[in-house]
Amino acid sequence: MNMITNLLMMPSAEGAVEAVAQADLSADVTFNLLTANNIWMMLATALVFIMHLGFAGVEAGFGQAKNTVNILFKNTLTPIIGIITYFICGFNLMYPGFEEPGWFGFAGFGIGDSTTADVSADYAGAGYTWWTDFLFQAMFAATAATIVSGAVAERIKLSAYMIFTVIFVGLVYPIIGSWKWGGGALDAMGFYDFAGSTLVHSVGGWGALAGIMILGPRIGKYVDGKVIDKPGSSVPLAVIGVFLLWLGWFGFNGGSVLSADPALTSFVLVTTSLAACAGGLGGFLMSYIVFKRMDLGMVLNGILAGLVGITAGADVIEPNSALIVGFIAGLIVVLSAITLDKFLLDDVVGAVSVHLVCGIWGTLAVGIFSNNPDHSFVAQLIGVAVCGVAAFASAFIIFYVLKMTMGIRVSEEHEKEGLDSHEHGIRGYTIITE
């Protein structure tokens, strides 16, 4: 009787084949999902990488011709330093695997090798592999340092900038980032920053502010209370740089979905573009009201301001609200630039106004416009304050120690004659006449 019962309970050969086929189909679907997601994330990584060329173009275009090579040299070294330091310790500082929300953790040096890396669909919900995860995040880390480069251009020692970048990107940025993205204390408080209005842009902006405060303005920038214009070397190059940054932001924000989710990714790209357009319009209108001219530089910074502003909430702020967020960012970036000049704070490319001021605005805007009722203005304000104090204090200390030890400013002679000839031996623009 038991033998008969067992035979009846055994799956038929046909049923067994069907079960195997379903398992194979499920495995194929999972693999294809991982492949599609990972392709998008690798593309997003490449788009964020190309932003470094955009930053280089903006900084070189807005900077004086005599410092072009120096500017490009810094912008070439920054992603190199950023990626290597993130490999050595930054990745594991930002994602330490907190057992409970905290303020500091460290998962060890390095990122492992092909025998330990998880490239299966079990990692990150089949959104991407371990390798893509590291590289995408490393691009963000390098971006934070690039923000500082533009503000302190044309008078900082290259050696001092490199040391600052190693410490700031290798230690300060990932530790602050861990408080939200690594599951730390701010995340537990309900603070929200989708793609880094605070964790990337404001952190870099605070570093830039500390740098220009300690460095002081360029020679001849402020004379008898008047702001002396120092024309950039190439307006077309600056425009190209801004559009490269706008293009890169599709990866910056779109990649922060952390998968190729069709609905959410396309939504984020729409809000990102709308905010950029509105920011450019806001920069144009405010600069026309204040300066009585059509200021291309302010339109360009308005575009970037809108992009920075929407970055914290690109996935939770509806398109109509994204226009408002971007437009206000475009307005305040102009007012911020004027205010900095009143305090004799010389920012070559407007990095503090774009990344710090508009990064703060964008983060707070989540608490005002988010379609998620769990997001509160108070939590956003706390996050902005905590990250701001940590980033500014750290950057200020680093710059101050460098100033007191090795010095951070080039000689007056080098600054007046240009850093290209003295520090690099070549010029960015050479016209040969016979």
Q: Tell me whether residue 260 is in a domain.
A: yes
Alpha-carbon span 264 to 107, nearest angstrom: 31
Asked whether residue 187 carries a pLDDT value surpassing 80, the answer given is yes
Sorting pLDDT into bands at 50, 70 and 90, what band is 8? very low
Per the structure, the complete domain to which residue 246 belongs is given by: 35-99+130-424
What confidence score (pLDDT) does residue 7 get? 44
Q: Poorest-confidence range of 112-126, 133-147, 164-178, 273-287?
A: 112-126
Q: Tell me whether residue 7 is in a domain.
A: no
Contacts of 321 (CB under 8 A, 6+ apart): 369
Q: Which two tokens stand for residue 20?
A: 């195997």
Q: Tell me whether residue 17 is in a domain.
A: no
Alpha-carbon span 164 to 159, nearest angstrom: 9
Percent of the chain clearing pLDDT 70 (strictly above): 92
> Rounded mean pLDDT of 377-396?
96
Give the CATH number for residue 213.
Answer: 1.10.3430.10
Asked whether residue 1 carries a pLDDT value surpassing 70, the answer given is no
Alpha-carbon span 200 to 193, nearest angstrom: 10
Q: Tell me whether residue 6 is in a domain.
A: no
Which of residues 341 and 123 earns the better pLDDT score? 341
What do you get for the CA distance between the two ends of the chain, in Å?
108
Which of residues 35 and 44 earns the better pLDDT score? 44
The amino acid that residue 116 corresponds to is: T
What confidence score (pLDDT) does residue 29 get? 62
Contact 363, 383 (CB under 8 A): yes
Sign, Cα dihedral of 307, 328, 392, 193: negative
DSSP E strand stretches across 98-221: none
Tell me the pLDDT tens digit for each residue of 205-234: 999 999 999 999 999 889 988 888 888 889
Asked whether residue 33 carries a pLDDT value surpassing 80, the answer given is yes
Q: What is the DSSP string of 333-355?
A: HHHHHHHHHHTT---SS-HIIII
- The closest alpha carbon to 143, from 202, 60, 213, 69, belongs to 202
C-alpha angle 334-338-339 in degrees, rounded to nearest 5: 115
Q: Tell me whether residue 121 is in a domain.
A: no
Contact 255, 315 (CB under 8 A): no
Alpha-carbon span 150 to 171, nearest angstrom: 21
Sign, Cα dihedral of 71, 143, 274, 190: negative
Give strand pairing partners of 317: 370
Mean pLDDT score of the chain: 89
What confidence score (pLDDT) does residue 12 get? 58
What confidence score (pLDDT) does residue 28 get? 59
Sorting pLDDT into bands at 50, 70 and 90, what band is 334? very high
- Burial (CB count <10 Å: 0-12, 13-18, 19+), residue 235: middle
> Rounded mean pLDDT of 23-32?
61
34-45 residues labelled b (16+ CB within 10 A) or e (exposed): beebbebbbebb
Sorting pLDDT into bands at 50, 70 and 90, what band is 14? low
217 DSSP assignment? P
Q: Poorest-confidence range of 219-223, 251-255, 397-401, 414-418?
A: 414-418
Place of tokens 């905010």: 275
Percent of the chain clearing pLDDT 90 (strictly above): 72
Alpha-carbon span 74 to 158, nearest angstrom: 7
Q: Tell me whether residue 225 is in a domain.
A: yes
Domain count for the chain? 1
Tell me the pLDDT tens digit for each residue of 78-132: 999 999 999 999 999 999 988 888 899 888 898 888 888 888 877 778 788 889 9
118 DSSP assignment? -
Q: Tell me whether residue 125 is in a domain.
A: no
> Rounded mean pLDDT of 358-377?
96
> Rounded mean pLDDT of 416-420?
84
What confidence score (pLDDT) does residue 229 get? 85
Q: Tell me whether residue 120 is in a domain.
A: no
